[in-house]
Amino acid sequence: MRKPLIAGNWKMNMTPTEAKTFIANFINQNLDSDIEVAVIPPFVDLEIISREIKGTKIKLGAQNMCWEDNGAYTGEISPLMLKEIGVEYVIIGHSERRGYFKEDDTMLNLKMKACQKHGLKPILCVGETLEEREKGMTLDRIGYELTEDLKDITLKELVIAYEPIWAIGTGKNASPEDAQAVIEYIRKKADELLGIGEDIRILYGGSVKSDNIKGFMAREGIDGALVGGASLKVDEFTRIVNFKEV
């Protein structure tokens, strides 16, 4: 039985002061205990959030990490640093990292291996551009990303997020039917590559809000959501987590 995961990727938003205010309010919300909830803030907010969520069920994630343990990698953050402050999940290969920061699949495979080595749980992001979708190449692109990023990976706990690039921050979401079809393919491919397709949680991400979450969660095989903009407001993120009540 896969426990649904709803994770808020804050991206480059919230100063430590703002993060503290957010989390102080969020931990007082009555959250559905059947849903695993994670917040994924910028690096500088991690420590403060880690302290505030102690003793709650809220999980902590990081948005990126280096594949090396330490060394001359100016500007990078290592898995050891993340582990020490209580990080459990790490987003690997978000399309904004692949696009703006030129992270390629070879690099992402090294990051996946670093997660495996240090017992961090990756949330591996895959997804197609609008052009690829229109050319009917969605599954080719995702199949390629999975094959490359999961090379030599033997992880038993892994989350994959299907985030169509054209749906991120645009207000245009994939239909639940379309998301479900791609997610079904991802599960098949992950099973082929790792032999654990049924155990992998696969999330949908891309313009998820409190008024569309229910449609995604109702679909068999969609195990949760990676939420961007709508995770920045306590009320809205709480409504998303508590979608069964809406």
Binding stretches for ligand 13P (CB under 6 A): 9, 94, 163, 168-169, 205-208, 226-230
Provide, rounded to whole angstroms, the least separation between the CB of residue 142 and ligand 13P. 16
DSSP state of 198: G
Output 58 or 156, the one with its CB closest to ligand 13P. 58
Tell me the CB-side half-sphere exposure of residue 205, using CA atoms within 13 A.
32
Provide, rounded to whole angstroms, the least separation between the CB of residue 198 and ligand 13P. 24
Write the single-letter amino acid at 192.
Answer: E
Per the listing, tokens 């155990």 go with: 199
Output 78 or 95, the one with its CB closest to ligand 13P. 95
Distance CA(29)–CA(27), nearest Å, equals 6
Provide, rounded to whole angstroms, the least separation between the CB of residue 246 and ligand 13P. 17
Distance CA(157)–CA(80), nearest Å, equals 19
Distance CA(90)–CA(200), nearest Å, equals 15
Q: Is 94 in the active site?
A: yes
Distance CA(211)–CA(169), nearest Å, equals 15
Q: Looking at 36, 128, 132, 163, which residue is catalytic?
A: 163
Provide, rounded to whole angstroms, the least separation between the CB of residue 192 and ligand 13P. 25
Q: Is 211 helix (H, G, I), strand (E, B) or coil?
A: coil
By the 10 Å C-beta count (0-12 exposed, 13-18 middle, 19+ buried), 165 is classed as: buried
Output 126 or 227, the one with its CB closest to ligand 13P. 227
Q: Is 118 in the active site?
A: no
Residue nearest ligand 13P, CB atom distance: 228
Output 71 or 171, the one with its CB closest to ligand 13P. 171
Q: Looking at 94, 96, 132, 145, which residue is catalytic?
A: 94
- Active site members: 94, 163
